[in-house]
Chains A and B, each alone.
Chain A
Amino acid sequence: MSDFAQHLINGIASGTIYALVALGYTMVYGVLKLINFAHGDVMMVGCYMGYAVAQSLGGDDASSFLGVLLVFSVAMAGCGLVGFLVERFGYRPLREKPRLTALITSIGISFTLSYGFQLDMGFLPGAAPRAFPEIIRPHELFVVGDYDIVIWNWQVISFAIAIVMMLGLQFLVYRTRFGRAMRAVSFDPKTAGLMGIATDRVISGTFILGSSLAACAGLLYAIKDTAVQPMMGLYVGLKAFVAAVIGGIGHVPGAVVGGLLLGLIEEFVVGYTASTWRDAVAFGFLIVVLLGRPEGLFGKAVAEKV
């Protein structure tokens, strides 16, 4: 029983992170109908920015509220910029081309980033994982029995941050002018133009937003894993993508549910078998969902117009 509870806690903790990244996939798919394979790697770049800031603040000594705030804001802003550049120079020129070209481009960008960061020349960090500074000094908040169930402070903090981010996004998308524009563009970009909405700017905004969220999620992941490494984007990204598809790609609350679901399933499978199966779980789950309900849990099936 205590095992179960612990897995539940861990699952929710990693699920919220997947959910945050998944939101970026889903929003970009919403406005561009593009699977942005590079999303996870943009996230990874953001993590390294956070890492650099944390290091320059004094590594493990950066553990203060202000330090955390600074690390997160720099990483999120920087990552937003990277996301913006990727869209501006990678995808926008291909807007009118067949969808496959943009998909291949995104795969190319993903590989350039994840393997480029493995080089150890110039500012590039090299392939080896770097220990992420303890900007949130870990201690147990809640212990049951003889460490049967443990809740760490960073788990609570990261859960809180993730929830705040999601609520913020919810507000942005459903309560603001930009959010309205975003939903309008995702429904019908041509008509959105007739409303005076500059679609290109909304798309850029969506990339910036999604990338910032990803940076935030990436930092939470780095804190959990106590490390950053160039390949993290690829794997976290893929899983988050799976979460987005499971929730129904393009569907914002679906991404959150998909993320949580994936986090939990992964944690339970790994918990009751072996950790080496971890990477197969997400895809196995994906295939099962796609077979049963290809449009995802919340998505709507769309028939092609002839």
Chain B
Amino acid sequence: MTETTGVRLRADHVSIRFGGLLALSDFSLEIRGGDLKGLIGPNGAGKTTAFNVLTGVYRPTSGAVVVAGMRADGKKPHQINRLGLARTFQNIRLFKELSVIDNVKVASLSDTHPIFKPKALARAGRLPGGDYWRAALEASNNYYDWWRALLLSPGYLREEREITERSEAMLSVMGLWHRRHEVAKSLPYGEQRRLEIARALATKPKVLLLDEPAAGMNTKEKADLMVLIRELRDRFSLGVLVIEHDMKLVMGICEVITVLDHGETIAVGTPAEVRRDPKVIEAYLGDAFVEAQKASTAKSAPSEAMTSAHPEMSAHPEMSAHPEISAHPEDRSARPVPELILEAKDLVVSYGAVTAVRGISLAVRKGQLVALIGGNGAGKTSTLRAISGMIKPAGGSVRFLGEDITGAKAHVLVPRGMAHAPEGRGIFLNLTVEENLMLGAYLRRDAAEIEHDAERCYGLFPILKQRRRQVAGTLSGGEQQMLALSRALMNRPRLLLLDEPSLGLAPQIVDTIFEVLKDVNASGVSVLLVEQNAHLALSLAHVGYVLETGQIVTEGPGPTLLTSPEIRKAYLGES
């Protein structure tokens, strides 16, 4: 029983630095047998990096990883796996062309039958030039194992049978037994996810790491998955660590949750504690959101869960603090409805077996700023990509300035007045600031006007002017975001698509950028803004759409949405 209670995985003040970026700092974690813990955080918080450090894909800059009592940092991934740590991947990485059972069999490694026992290896290691002797003996061991397979020795055949039996048993547990001879890539998405878990379990892990196991699943599949994860934990007495964007799932199954933001651990606690933690809400929904909701709860209802809809919300006092925003709905009722710039109908986006966007319809009118908000993996970025032509939608239609542009390529839409500042800013880090800016005006031929626009951008963000000859790779994150916005403006767009301009930036810089964005919008450019920071986006937006698992769950005037309970639900998985 000591096995189940002892610490099986421990990360001890682990930090990792890529170039100048501290991707993970001072990360500590303990997983014991029977634990079910969660690791959450907004995009780019360092969750997958943490997994990669634990599993040996990256070597930590400082700190230690201990698996089953053995130092694991610095070991290779396959060695760490053998110590008892198995994982799944964010974007399913099955052995696609192999059969289902072979996928599991690969992981069901049999024990090797060394001719030279560990003692002999150690002895060889002590000889002069010991490393080479040792390596030679290890190689002999490996080749000896091949011989057994080639000669079909009885012992080998017995092992093969055992592997087959074990793998089939594993598939039965996961409900995939009847599919065992099918090719892995032909399985439906949900079963591929399950197969990946089966494969990880076949390595007989002591701790299982699940990287977004529910990504791309529908609600029913997610519910099943929650049950399954618990079941597996109990059946194999595992320690489980889950990264997941779906808050409902994480909050539903995890006993302890670690929250990362910018690589730092900002909270550790039970789901209820984490959900109430102001720092967490701030990281997910934006700093002002906390106050806004506090104000709203104090006024409207004493209950902490805001489940009932509040019809009076649009007249909420919080809005009087933003007169320029509350004015908008009135504007609209007074004037005729402005012309339609962009209209998406029943948009569907799929990546292979995964459906990221499931029939979204939205509209952007002239002069409007429309916000698309929702948690990680809700389908916001995919929607933008399908609109700007970066990917072909699998269904539905897009109309831009009255024309059907469904499936048109990106470079065709640029001259028509669409500019898309993509996720991750999309700065060409190998080009100078000025060159990046000029690429924004790539299709324009009016040199004098381009020069004028560039000067205007430099006026908006003077720091860019100072750095115009510098290679963009040397810019800070905030400067890169400024450059991304400026570059998009260089196209003189009718419609500006912005993907998470606040991601990973300090609050002052976010303020600067949103200040500019407000001005740009006021000057007549329609904006479709994707944001995780709900408060920021909605306080500016004329119209907001809230996305959850690829569907619009609610929509309405921005400030109204701000206080809607749907938002907390979408972000923090409350029900």
Contacts and interface: CB of A to CB of B under 8 A. Distances in A.
A194 B426 contact: yes
Contacts, number: 69
Interface string B232-263: 00000000000000000000000000000000
Contacts of B410: 190, 193-194, 196
Contacts of A188: 426, 428
Interface string A175-192: 001001101101110111
Given A177-B442, A183-B430, A183-B431, A198 B411 contact: yes
B428 A306 contact: no
Interface stretch (B129-137, B396-404, B414-422, B519-527): B414-422
B426 A191 contact: yes
B41 interface: no
A184 B431 contact: yes
B428 A187 contact: yes
Contact of A180 (B390, B409, B438): B438
B411 A180 contact: no
Contacts of B428: 183-184, 187-188, 191-192
A260 B290 CA distance: 63
Contacts of A180: 431, 435, 438-439, 442
Contacts of B420: 194
Contacts of B419: 194
B7 to A, nearest CB: 25
A197 B411 contact: yes
* 7 shortest interchain CB distances as A-B pairs: A196-B414, A191-B426, A193-B410, A196-B443, A195-B439, A187-B428, A196-B442
A167 B421 CA distance: 34
Contacts of A195: 411, 414, 439-440, 442, 487
A199 interface: yes
Contact of B411 (A183, A199, A303, A306): A199
A306 B431 contact: no
17 contacts: A181-B442, A183-B430, A184-B428, A184-B439, A186-B430, A187-B428, A187-B430, A190-B422, A192-B439, A193-B411, A194-B420, A194-B426, A195-B414, A196-B443, A197-B442, A198-B411, A306-B57
B48 interface: yes
A306 B58 CA distance: 10
A83 B36 CA distance: 58
Q: Which of A180, A192, A194 has the most C-beta atoms of chain B within 10 angstroms of its own C-beta?
A: A194
A273 B61 CA distance: 48
A222 to B, nearest CB: 35
Interface size class of A (residues with CB under 8 A): 20 to 34
A306 B443 CA distance: 35
Contact of A196 (B52, B390, B411): B411
B389 interface: yes
A192 to B, nearest CB: 8
B426 A181 contact: no
B528 to A, nearest CB: 14
B27 interface: no
A194 B420 CA distance: 6
B80 to A, nearest CB: 14
B388 interface: yes
Contacts of B443: 196
A150 B415 CA distance: 58
B429 interface: yes
B439 A181 contact: yes
Nearest to A181: B442
A183 B438 CA distance: 13
Nearest to A202: B411
B390 A194 contact: yes
B213 to A, nearest CB: 16
B177 interface: no
Nearest to B426: A191
A191 B435 CA distance: 14
Contacts of B431: 180, 183-184, 187
A194 B422 contact: yes
A194 B422 CA distance: 8
A191 B422 contact: yes
B491 interface: yes
A187 B420 CA distance: 17
B475 to A, nearest CB: 14
Interface in B434-470: 435, 438-440, 442-443
Interface in B56-109: 57-58, 89
A196 B429 CA distance: 18
B409 A193 contact: yes
Contacts of A306: 48, 52, 57, 89
Contacts of B487: 195
Nearest to A201: B411
A170 to B, nearest CB: 15
Contacts of A194: 388, 390, 410-411, 414, 419-420, 422, 426
Nearest to A180: B435
Given A180-B439, A199-B411, 13 more contacts: A177-B438, A181-B442, A184-B428, A184-B439, A192-B439, A194-B411, A194-B414, A194-B426, A196-B410, A196-B414, A196-B415, A196-B491, A197-B442
Contacts of A181: 439, 442
Contacts of A191: 422, 426, 428
B491 A187 contact: no
Interface in B1-57: 48, 52, 57
Contacts of B422: 190-191, 194
A178 to B, nearest CB: 10
Contacts of B426: 188, 190-191, 194
A305 to B, nearest CB: 9
A306 B243 CA distance: 14
Contacts of B414: 194-196
B486 to A, nearest CB: 13
Contacts of A192: 428, 439
Given A193-B410, A193-B411, A187 B439 contact: no
A197 B58 CA distance: 35
A180 B435 CA distance: 7
A187 B422 CA distance: 15
A267 to B, nearest CB: 33
Contacts of A190: 390, 410, 422, 426
B70 to A, nearest CB: 22
Contacts of B48: 306
B15 to A, nearest CB: 17
Given A183-B431, A306-B89, A197 B57 contact: no
Nearest to B410: A193
